Structure 1
Amino acid sequence: MGRSWGRQPFERPGVMSAPRGSRSRGARSWQWRDWRDVRPPHQQALPAREGVLAFTRTGGLVCVVNLSPAPAALPPYERLLLSSGPLDADGGLPTDTAVWLRT
């Protein structure tokens, strides 16, 4: 069996994979559920197609992340605040790119 080409994370006490520790309160799956249940009320998910994560925050901030294989349309916005990469020629959000917008 060959060696892994990437570095493997070190073992941390109390951190388990979801299958092994799914019933443990400290497991990653529980951490996600805890965050989901206590996220601030001033954050709201926006409708988006499969593979695109979009949410709004108070103050007119919108975050859109495109994890799909095709470019995604952006909601109407006043200003592009931050982008992890350039927008495509049509102003769409390329795959594996995230933006913060002011609406």
Structure 2
Amino acid sequence: MHLLSLFKRKVEEERLLDIVDKYNDDMQTNRAKVVEMMRVAAWCLQSDFLRRPSMSVVVKVLEGLVEVENSLDYSFTTPVVPRAITVAGHQVDGSGAATPLFASALSGPR
């Protein structure tokens, strides 16, 4: 939690480069990419799971085809619990009943 609060503070101060290893030449050479990867990680850690990117979107970000969302929540509070959970490709509701999920639901919107 300390690292996440430090990360949030550095984002608010617009000083993410402060937490990049100053003694690693590769990290210093690729500072912009390192900061972008930190933003991707923050996007994947959104408390509201509906705001998290799908893995296909993450891949597109890594390929340079998609930008990281700008309005990220850096508070990383307790996650919002969905009404149903997915277990082994089946959606389980509050009663414990399982229904199969279609491939489109598993991979998210395209």
Give 1 or 2: higher strand fraction: 1
TM over 0.5: no
TM-score interval for Structure 1 and Structure 2 normalised by the shorter chain? under 0.3
Give 1 or 2: higher helix fraction: 2
TM-score between the two structures when normalised by the length of structure 2: 0.22
TM-score between the two structures when normalised by the length of structure 1: 0.23
